[in-house]
Amino acid sequence: MAADIPDWRSSANYEHVEKLTASDLAWEWLRRNENYRRAFELLSQAETEKEKLTETIRQQWGLRFRG
């Protein structure tokens, strides 16, 4: 295991999770999801209006955005 990767078996590495809101926990999962990251990168590089990008990401990933 690489030195910079925390040991997933160590509960000490995940104590902060107990304090996360549902939204925070969802983001922790989503930001590690390779498919999401790839989709976001492709969509954000395209000549797409911000509103259309937001709607596409929302539909594909079931996200809701404030405001």
Q: What is the mean pLDDT of each run of 10 residues along the chain (67 residues)?
A: 60 81 84 86 78 82 72
Query: Three-state SS string across the chain, please?
Result: CCCCCCCCCCHHHHHHHHHCCHHHHHHHHHCCCHHHHHHHHHHHHCCCCHHHHHHHHHHHHCCCCCC
> Taking the model in full, what pTM does it have?
0.55
Predicted pLDDT of residue 16: 82
pLDDT at 2: 47
- What is the per-residue pLDDT for 53? 78
